[in-house]
Chain A
Amino acid sequence: MARQKSLSTTAISPNDLASRTLILDNGAHTIKAGFSSHLSSTPISTTACHVIPNCIARSTRDRRTYIGPELTTCADFGDLAYRRPVEKGYVVNWEGEKAIWERGFLANAANAANNDESGLGCDPAETNLILTEAPNAPISLQRNADEMVFEEFNFGAYYRTIAPALNAYAPSPFPSTTASPAGIPLECMLLIDAGHSHTTITPLYHGRPLHPAIRRLEIGGKTLTNRLKDLISRTFDVHREDHLVEEIKEDVCYVSPSFTRDLERTWKGGRYDGREVDSSVVVDYVLPDYEHIKRGFYRPHDTDVMNLRNRALGIGTETGRREHVVTLGNERFTVPELLFTPSDIGMRQAGLCGTVLQSLDALPEGLRQAYLANVVVVGGTSLLPGFVERLESELRAAVDEATVIRVARAESPVKNVWMGGARLAADEAALRAVMITRQEWAENGEGWVRRRFVGKKGR
């Protein structure tokens, strides 16, 4: 998709909306970016959404710095040091973020080749922007974001919202709910966004968040990765290998439905009562060496010590090269257990189920049933197998028997916020209701703009 030229020869009047909207789900781990237009009637699909790593990485082996989308061109992920402009869910380092945005999708003469391939080049003055951020941002960060978007990038019109709110516009993951057309939000939704930096619980009403009830659990994918790093480093030091441990976490970790039972199965026993370790849970993970093995993989644990030694020396492996193997037993489910029991590492916060109940307590009692029946889970961390089942069983145990509980994960947890934004942008009426143009920002000032974004109507 080449850069779309402006259809009219004159510039778009400052008070009017451009034809295309760029939806940017600015996450701490990745940016989900794509275009949507309220003028075209093609249905929106997730293929229009591009996932860009939101980081600046320096590889000491290549001595190269990879910014944003360049990371896909990296051949050797070993010993990669990351720096993220988004801290705790909010953009703190605009210098880094600007560099990533420029390479990702802003039209730039030096990057024209890259952009045309991915189809994301755009001219900000002719594009509307929907930007997401995490809830409960400090005011100065909100102010900075507004100023950067208008002054530095010169977008024509802009809407900044908290990421959970856009999910109400995405199609509902519950099979029994009737599908709503683009632009109409779902009525009641309790959204659990299990993201990279933290997990947020947001009740939404017709697409608008109920602010007094938003709660945040400070365990996210990042915490799990770091914890897994510590646990693996007991046998093999991986403190400097962020990318590798993330891959291991995605491949191997799961949420156990019954923690105590699984822990028993993976115990090797004491001195006097040695036990047989359950091979269905314990796995051997073969580490990539980025020469022959590009991506690690795992296989069931091989208890024969001789086999392990041979493979480490390179005898009997497929490629004939040495294999480095890490055995992962209870780390597989102990790490995601942190989401449900943060006190395991000493964190004084309630687990996911407890936080959901806290959020519900802040709502009037009549709404509890409505929200418990519409729990939607999004976010990369929710891709862990067993997450939804465990959450549902914990909620079931904590809540009155008569209440109906429905928990569902969105079809594409990573791109769901983007889908919601795209559907919102596809409906002109809804779009006009929320967009703020540059002229309005210049006239009314940043305080007014900020209040508008939160949802206050009127002065």
Chain B
Amino acid sequence: MATGPLRFRTPHIEELPISQSRQSAGFAWVAVSTAQDDPAKNWGTTNRKRARASLGGQTEQQKEALSARVQRETERKIKELNSDNSRDVVIDIAKKPGQSTGGALKAGKTTGTKKILASGKTFAHYLDDEEAEIARTGRRDGDADAPAAAQRASKTPLARRKPRADSSASHSPAPLVAPMAPPPIPRLPTTDSSAAPIPLDGLDDDDDEEEDDEDRVPRMPTSVEMDALLNAPPLTYNQARSAPPPAGMPPPRRFCETCGYWGRVRCLKCGAMTCSVLCKDEHDQSRCLKMYA
């Protein structure tokens, strides 16, 4: 099986800091030489919690280190939420008694189907196979094989090859979309809209009024552009995934673990959020210790 460069499932690739000591929740190592080197505020870093708060918070690296572990945890939880089979169940399809040609029929009629029926691959296997093939040949079979064929058989080991510019293994839809987007909308006179295949009556009226304005109604794509869109090859599974929300959005909301209201106070030991003292008490009794048990 070909080995392509490692591809993570997450949309972002986070850089884990290498030189970071192992952390446990509740405190953070604070480097002495941070941005504010004010000796008056630096009470001698024995009191780490105060130092962390007073020295302007954790550094970027420390925040990322903490969040990498948390992120792994959430990824695992999400995968569990999206798992198809509730637990590892092995259900055999019992052979019905009285089936005419029981064994042969069950196994499949041709060699191809026998293989398909007997294969125990899961979806993750198929996805990985496809990603590996794309990384190896530049495009999955059937669609644009021309660029792969034209390239000289490369002697660079796979690990050192730079990702091809038109490789479709990129994770965000944006790079692949760029060649598909129509050329920048030229300022055309309204008579040209007759080339458009989509008549929308409402827009024609607007065109007459706003022809000279800066924010004119966008032009309908021509039939050539529509053909290009329609005949574009389908995206791969990873490309079609929804991208993360833009960075300007508010941070993810946290909820109380016990009752589900907004989370307002964080447990020092395990980092879970609860909403009120009552919920926090309940959390301490039943859920918190389980982390340590």
Contact = CB atoms under 8 A, between A and B. Distances in A.
Interface of A: 28, 56-58, 65, 67, 81-84, 86-88, 90, 92, 94-96, 98-99, 109-110, 135-141, 144, 147-148, 151-152, 187-188, 197, 205, 208, 210-212, 214-218, 222-223, 226-227, 230-231, 234, 239-240, 242, 263, 266-271, 329-331, 334, 341, 343-351, 354-355, 358, 361-370, 404, 447, 450-451, 454-456
B130 interface: yes
B126 A92 contact: yes
Contacts of B98: 110
Interface stretch (B18-26, B34-42, B221-229): B221-229
B200 to A, nearest CB: 6
B198 to A, nearest CB: 6
- What interface size band does chain B fall in? 35 or more
Interface in B58-85: 71, 74-75, 77-78, 80-85
Contact of B130 (A81, A140, A222, A344): A140
A329 B255 CA distance: 14
B78 A346 contact: yes
Given A135-B234, A215-B240, 13 more contacts: A57-B91, A84-B84, A212-B229, A223-B81, A230-B81, A239-B86, A267-B259, A267-B261, A329-B259, A348-B244, A350-B245, A362-B181, A368-B218
Interface of B: 10-12, 71, 74-75, 77-78, 80-87, 89, 91-94, 96, 98-100, 108-110, 112-113, 116-118, 121-123, 126-127, 129-130, 140-142, 173, 176-177, 180-182, 185, 196, 198, 200, 202-203, 218-221, 225-226, 229-237, 239-245, 252-253, 255, 258-262, 275-278
A246 B92 CA distance: 24
Given A83-B91, A215-B242, A345-B78, A364 B221 contact: yes
20 contacts: A81-B89, A84-B85, A95-B117, A109-B100, A136-B240, A138-B236, A140-B126, A148-B116, A197-B82, A208-B230, A239-B86, A242-B86, A330-B259, A344-B252, A348-B10, A354-B245, A364-B218, A364-B221, A370-B200, A450-B142
A454 B142 CA distance: 11
A136 B200 CA distance: 31
Contacts of A67: 93
A276 to B, nearest CB: 15
Contacts of A137: 237
A345 B240 CA distance: 21
Contact of A344 (B99, B123, B198, B255): B255
A343 B252 contact: yes
Contacts of B141: 139, 447
Nearest to A144: B116
Contact of A454 (B78, B234, B243): B234
B86 A56 contact: no
Nearest to B276: A270
A136 B277 CA distance: 48
Given A58-B89, A83-B89, A136-B235, A226 B244 contact: no
Contacts of B123: 87-88, 90, 92
Contact of B113 (A58, A148, A367): A148
Contacts, number: 242
Select the residue from A65, A81, A187, A455 with max chain B CB neighbours within 10 A: A81
Contact of B198 (A99, A226, A370): A370
B89 A263 contact: no
Contacts of A362: 173, 177, 180-181
Nearest to B75: A346
Select the residue from A110, A354, A367, A369 with max chain B CB neighbours within 10 A: A367
A12 B259 CA distance: 65
A358 B75 CA distance: 23
A236 B121 CA distance: 35
A135 B240 contact: yes
A147 to B, nearest CB: 5
B110 A151 contact: yes
A329 B117 CA distance: 45
Contacts of B221: 364, 366-367
A347 B78 contact: yes
Given A205-B230, A234-B258, A364-B221, A271 B198 contact: no
A354 B249 CA distance: 11
A138 B129 contact: yes
A240 B86 contact: yes
B185 A226 contact: no
A239 B200 CA distance: 52
A151 B109 contact: yes
B278 A270 contact: yes
Contacts of A240: 86-87
- Nearest 10 A-B pairs (CB), nearest first? A346-B74, A270-B276, A343-B252, A365-B218, A87-B123, A355-B242, A349-B242, A152-B113, A138-B130, A366-B220
Given A58-B91, A67-B93, A350-B243, A136 B126 contact: no
A267 B275 contact: yes
A211 B140 contact: no
Contacts of B196: 366
A87 B219 CA distance: 41
A250 B181 CA distance: 41
Given A56-B91, A88-B123, A152-B113, A334 B100 contact: no
A206 to B, nearest CB: 9
Contacts of A270: 275-278
Contact of A231 (B93, B173, B260): B260
A215 to B, nearest CB: 5
Contacts of A366: 185, 196, 218-221
Contacts of A361: 177
A227 B180 CA distance: 38
A357 to B, nearest CB: 10
Select the residue from A242, A329, A364 with max chain B CB neighbours within 10 A: A364
